[in-house]
Amino acid sequence: MDMPTPSKTLRFDLRDLPRFPSLTPELLRLAYQEMLLARCHVERVVQECAKGTIKFAIWGSGEELHGAAEALAFAEVVNPEAFGICAHYRSAGLLAMWSRLRGYPDFHLDHMRQQLCKSTDPWTGGRLMTAHFNDLRFNTLPVQSALGMQFGKAVGYAQGLRRKGHDDGLVVAVVGDGTTAESDMHEGMTGASILRLPVLLTVTDNNVAISVRPEDGRGIRSFEHYAAAFGFAYFECDGNDFLGCYETARAAAEYCKEQQAPALMWVKNLSRLNNHSSAADFTFEFDSYDPLIDFGEALVQAGVLAPHEVLRRNAVTEGKDYFRRHDWGTLAKAADDYVVETMAICATEPEPSYESVLTDIRAPFPAVEEAPPENRPTAISINGAIRSALQAILKANPMSWVYGQDVGKKGGVMVATKGLYERFPDQVRDAPINEPLILGTAFGFALHKGATAIPEIQFSDYSLNTLHWLVLLGNQRWQSAGTVDVNVILRLPVEPLHGGSVYHSMCMEGFYASIPGITIVAPTTSRDMYGLLRSAAEYPGPVLVFESKGLYRMTLGDAFPGEPTDPKEIAALKRSIGFGGHIPDLPDDFRVPLGKAALRRPGKDITVVTWGRCTLFCNEAVQKLAAEGVDVELLDLRTIVPYDSEAVLASVRKTGRLLVVHEDRVFASLGREIQGAVQEAMAGENVITRVLGQDPSPGIPSPIEIEEQIVVSPEKVHAAVLEVMSIRRAKAAADAAAPARPARGSADVFARPQILWTPSRNSVT
């Protein structure tokens, strides 16, 4: 192409365009149109924010150019079937151009639907604020609010591409310069480096994070040296130089794709033309450099566009109105007309209803039939059942992945994954000591349709620094309006045991049971452990598996169909599992339903609801109570979130009394939730309830003899049942001729609905 003589000095012209023959005039024109659409979208929204008709918006004016250039580069390099973009909230320019090249013309219309919280928003159903992009059809992975988590997702998604067999995969993760101070940055760098994955981390740098400048907000002094420290290739470009961005992004993408290795690309010197968001002074920075103006002039100089087509700054210097201070060429006018049209279309579309936002909390559980009991004890230990279930899952689904600390060669500190690495070396991998990385990569891996990620946190206590990920996991289905599920089965050894003290003996129910959308199981028997894991792998959503540390090596519950009956065979099987790391072959079609409690013992006097290790304590106490004439109905929830409320209520309506027993402290516990729900559902029925948990010590001290005094025990369960039984229920409300009540403190008090409560140290002084 012959280049006209420049008529105006530009910071970045297109005189080198002949070096890039693939950048045809048609593509350059399309790129400029997409930049204009992105800009007009922002500026029309800015006007509405100024009027107060839009409450909140967030934007990336000044970043349209580098985004479009990178999209063009990626389109030349990547295999769309082996590609993903984990975007930043300022990535609209990149995603719009990429989507257009993929044949998706309605990006800006759908973005406006999200901005205006319309139910027609295909990404979130109008449930989330603007810039939560999400369209796996066109390689856009779901964007979250919390900064930096896109990097961990990118690492996991890239691992999924590799597991699918792609040797040409690439995942782009985009972060802002402020995000580089987040711990997610180090986690993502660590994961991509250790797994050596084709992840291109793009740092978009406008030298400010809301209001914080690099001297206060950036500890990385050199992105080049930082990249080298992790074995990343390094690329950089000026974000205002269209050809520089295109050439650099193409080179970086080619490196990652061909080498199947990570790279960092620093896109520097970006302008931030509308401040951070509508929460600040979002007046357009007319005195700042605007690359969109220069690029339009460069296209005119290159003979690609005519002067009357481009957007230009005019001579007006007063006022804050973006549209008044620019002259609108025909392309810019067409872009603005389209954006105004999207606003008009959206104005007629419905907003989400109250009823609609109560849907998509979790996917339906698999419909499974539970096998009838064998009525003989099992020879399979809990960790043997775990090994067998994981082996079956890994074998049945090549897109399943076990990842965690020491889960590979060692077989896990609880020996629950022993033998799996040798059988599935490509699907079982040891992870660094970085719990957010373990769970973040699991999330990204599970974004692949049909994939199952099975991360393990070595001790549940150390999962507390993954709370961001757990909240995102639980909310992913809801915030995508049911369009995105992630099957992550997070295994967590829980509960106090053998002097573990704080951070080795904590209970997690009180922390995690309140997270919407999460399903939590707490199996007590080997059958339940195996069957619930198998069901969890067939359920599309996230499941937390609370594995009681005290039960791993125990053989608990009823036998599986087909277990040996010969005593010598039983003894040999137990030894091989316990000492030889044997993985038993259990029935492949055996399942236990999620969300359904198990009736361990029928009774008529009192209902005891429990789960996990406490089931053993309760069972021991119940046998003693039976000999004393107290007929206890014992329910093992198995799934504690969402728990089987129908089974609980049916039992309590029969007995009139409820004792919930769990390892956790009582304050703010799941037991309190069950107790409260029963009281509300049975208002006026005079039910007597109590919750029993560990004593209200802030933590469990290391001396075992003190631990045993603090935690739940059969003796404490026995005493608690007798306490609840000692209070007589009130007569029916209709009985106006009730006899006079005995004095306060008498065991024969006719009680109104009662909650027996031992306050925690957290709630009293």
**If we measure between CA atoms, which residue out of 547, 538, 543, 363 comes closest to residue 442?**
543
Annotate 544-582 with DSSP letters as a single string. Answer: EEEEEGGGTT-B-SBPPTT---SHHHHHHHHHHHHHH--
Please count the other Cβ atoms lying within 10 Å of the Cβ belonging to residue 182. 17
How far is Cα of residue 91 from the mean position of the Cα atoms in its chain? 21
Residue 293 to residue 309: CA distance in whole angstroms:
12
Tell me how far apart the alpha carbons of residues 656 and 661 are, in angstroms, rounded to a whole number.
17
* Token reading at 487: 């099957």
Report the chain's C-alpha Rg in angstroms. Answer: 31
Q: What is the DSSP letter of 131?
A: T
Strand 263-268 with 233-238, pairing? parallel
Secondary structure in 3-state letters for 485-521: CCCEEEEEEECCCCCCCCCCCCCCHHHHCCCCCCEEE
| Neighbouring residues of 149: CB distance < 8 A, sequence distance ≥ 6 | 184, 440, 468, 469, 472
Residue with tokens 């968001």: 277
DSSP 8-class letter at 277: B
- For the record, the structure tokens of 732 come out as 């029916």
Identify any residues that bridge with 199 across adjacent strands, giving them in sequence order.
171
Distances (CA, A) of 340 to 57, 128, 324: 17, 22, 16
Q: Which of 224, 171, 230, 156 is nearest to 201 (CA)?
A: 171
Q: How far apart are CA 148 and CA 155, in angstroms?
A: 12
The closest of 456, 440, 441 to 405, measured between CA atoms, is: 456
**Cβ distance 253 to 77 under 8 Å?**
yes
Alpha-carbon distance of 186 to 199, in angstroms, equals: 14
Is residue 292 within 8 Å of 311, Cβ to Cβ? yes
Residue 581 tokens, joined:
């790391």
For CA atoms 169, 171, 172, 178, the dihedral sign is negative
- Which DSSP symbol is given to 461? G
From 166, 504, 662, 718, active-site residue: 504
The 3-state DSSP class for residue 107 equals helix
CA-based nearest residue to 12, from 180, 282, 238: 238
Q: Is 504 an active-site residue?
A: yes
Return d(Cα 361, Cα 480) in angstroms, integer: 10
DSSP strand pairing (233-238 vs 489-494) = unpaired
Residue 604's closest CA among 537, 672, 660, 654? 654
Q: Name the residues annotated as catalytic.
A: 504
